[in-house]
Chain A
Amino acid sequence: MKRLFANKKLLTDLCVILALLLLAGGLYLALLLGREAGGFAVVRVDGIETERHALSTDGVFPLNGGSNTLVIENGEAWLSEANCPDLLCVKMGKIRYNGQTITCLPNRLTVTVEGGESDGVDLVVG
């Protein structure tokens, strides 16, 4: 094993890996600091908005003819059920901040948290 990596390319390799890790960390921090709670869960199928629900009102909504089920509770949105085999969208968990998205690739459906005015609160300034 040692002979395998004991060459001068090892250093450049490590630099590349380190740079990528730093990029991922930096990006994550930037997103974390820049986030703010959103007003709506916007549902899109094939990139076209089909419905939007205020995060301030709890509820359960069947989406896309029943292929997925959206739950809104305590300002958070998540998909509780889906008819796809992998259920990735269900496992993706809860979202509440602007720009966060749940994606269901098989049903070509996304749920994105977006800001908005008509939920009783003006824009929350972070």
Chain B
Amino acid sequence: MKAKRVTVMAMCIALAMILSYVESQIPSPGIPGVKLGLANLVVVFALYRLGWKEAAGISLLRVFLVSLLFGHAASLAYSASGAVLSLAGMILLKRTDKLSCVAVSVIGGVLHNAGQILMAWALMGANVVWYLPVLILSGTVAGVAIGVVSAILVKRIKL
């Protein structure tokens, strides 16, 4: 059983890294932080099918490895703050059991953006208030898309 768990987690991390790479090849619409968050598919799936500790492990390792491989020096700080906030929100919301994984994913997307904005504010003193509405909107839209696909995955894939 333990070997299986380790294997599944390793596969999830690998998949999340591939999805991050695929996403990096999609042209950006020109506002930092506006993105689909494909890797969140794996995290939401893991949250529902493996457990919160596994989801946290997958997400944080993914962020670390992707920053190491494809990122620049500053990207780790931004990605990590987004991932931590997003994870915390999704884990807590899932615990309340009042929302389906679509809304959990939406909150995850919005909080991921919020975490990055907070880090930009902390590191550079950037005036971030103008980004808030855009990133809440984009986080919500992306969260719905990722959440709907995650819901299908969670339903279909049994481990």
B130 touches A100 (CB 8 A): yes
Beyond A4-B152, A108-B124, whether A12 also contacts B130 by CB under 8 A is: no
List of A residues within 8 angstroms of B106 by Cβ:
13, 16-17, 20
A28 touches B133 (CB 8 A): yes
B124 touches A16 (CB 8 A): no
Task: Name which of B6-14, B24-32, B44-52 contacts chain A.
Answer: B24-32
Q: Is B98 among interface residues, defined by CB-CB distance under 8 A?
A: yes
A13 CA / B75 CA spacing, docked (Å): 31
**Cross-chain contact of A101 among B102, B103, B128, B139 (Cβ < 8 A):** B128
Closest CB in chain A relative to B97 CB, distance in Å? 9
A87 CA / B152 CA spacing, docked (Å): 36
A13 CA / B139 CA spacing, docked (Å): 15
Task: Name which of A57-65, A67-75, A88-96, A117-125 contacts chain B.
Answer: A88-96
List of A residues within 8 angstroms of B123 by Cβ:
46-47, 108
Beyond A5-B100, A31-B130, whether A105 also contacts B140 by CB under 8 A is: no
List of B residues within 8 angstroms of A5 by Cβ:
100, 102, 151
**Cross-chain contact of A108 among B30, B74, B132, B137 (Cβ < 8 A):** B74
B98 touches A12 (CB 8 A): yes
**Cross-chain contact of B100 among A9, A28, A105, A109 (Cβ < 8 A):** A9
Beyond A27-B133, A106-B72, A112-B127, whether A17 also contacts B103 by CB under 8 A is: yes
Beyond A91-B28, A105-B74, whether A12 also contacts B103 by CB under 8 A is: yes
Q: List 29 A-B contacts (CB under 8 A).
A: A9-B98, A9-B103, A10-B100, A12-B99, A13-B99, A13-B100, A13-B103, A13-B106, A16-B106, A16-B107, A21-B140, A23-B133, A23-B136, A24-B137, A24-B140, A28-B134, A31-B133, A44-B125, A91-B30, A100-B130, A101-B128, A101-B131, A103-B124, A105-B78, A105-B120, A106-B74, A110-B124, A110-B126, A112-B126
